[in-house]
């Protein structure tokens, strides 16, 4: 699966980050603005969700026949977001080895991925924890 080929992500203009310290980005566009002229919460959420999936797919690219499904999300909007928005991701409270062991023994697992969004000035504007249910298909 390629997150850039999903129709919704194409529609919003999701891009790979031009900055090597980040994964994905939304460029500065008027279409993303809300009534306060800041980046709309739904645009930020869409970037965070795509980043979470992109991170998982990259971490488990060698595994075949797995299907990840978002189960739960907790989001904190920290600062008003302006301009280009960049993303990072990492696992929360687990490591890849434990995840692989559980997938091999139980054929399923729960994984939490933390996504942090930053503006061009490297200020954290949003944090989300995505809980993914992953099973072998």
Per-residue model confidence as pLDDT tens digits over 59-88: 888 887 888 899 999 999 999 999 999 999
Given a contact cutoff of 8 angstroms between Cβ atoms, the answer to whether 27 and 15 are in contact is yes
Give 130's strand partners. 73, 113
Return the domain boundaries, the chain: 3-136
pLDDT value for 16: 96
Q: How far apart are CA 107 and CA 119, in angstroms?
A: 38
Alpha carbons within 13 angstroms on the beta-carbon side of residue 15 total: 13
Reply yes or no on whether the pLDDT at 97 is more than 90: no
Q: How far apart are CA 48 and CA 43, in angstroms?
A: 9
Per-residue model confidence as pLDDT tens digits over 11-64: 999 999 989 999 999 999 999 999 999 999 999 999 999 999 999 989 888 887
Given a contact cutoff of 8 angstroms between Cβ atoms, the answer to whether 82 and 90 are in contact is no
Q: What pTM value is reported for the model?
A: 0.92
pLDDT value for 9: 94
Q: Is 1.20.120.1200 the CATH classification of the domain at 3-136? A: no
């Amino acid at each position: 699966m390629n997150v850039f080929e999903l129709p919704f992500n194409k529609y919003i203009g999701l891009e790979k980050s031009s900055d090597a310290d980040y994964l994905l980005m939304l460029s500065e566009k008027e279409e993303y603005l809300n009534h306060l002229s800041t980046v709309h919460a739904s645009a930020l959420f869409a970037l965070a969700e795509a980043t979470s999936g992109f991170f998982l797919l990259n971490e488990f690219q060698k595994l075949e026949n797995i299907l990840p499904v978002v189960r739960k999300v907790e989001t904190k909007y920290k600062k008003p977001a302006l301009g280009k928005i960049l993303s990072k991701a990492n696992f929360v409270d687990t490591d890849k080895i434990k995840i692989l062991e559980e997938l091999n023994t139980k054929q399923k697992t729960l994984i939490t991925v933390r996504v942090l969004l930053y503006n061009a000035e490297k200020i954290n504007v949003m944090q989300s924890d995505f809980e993914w249910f992953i099973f072998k298909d």
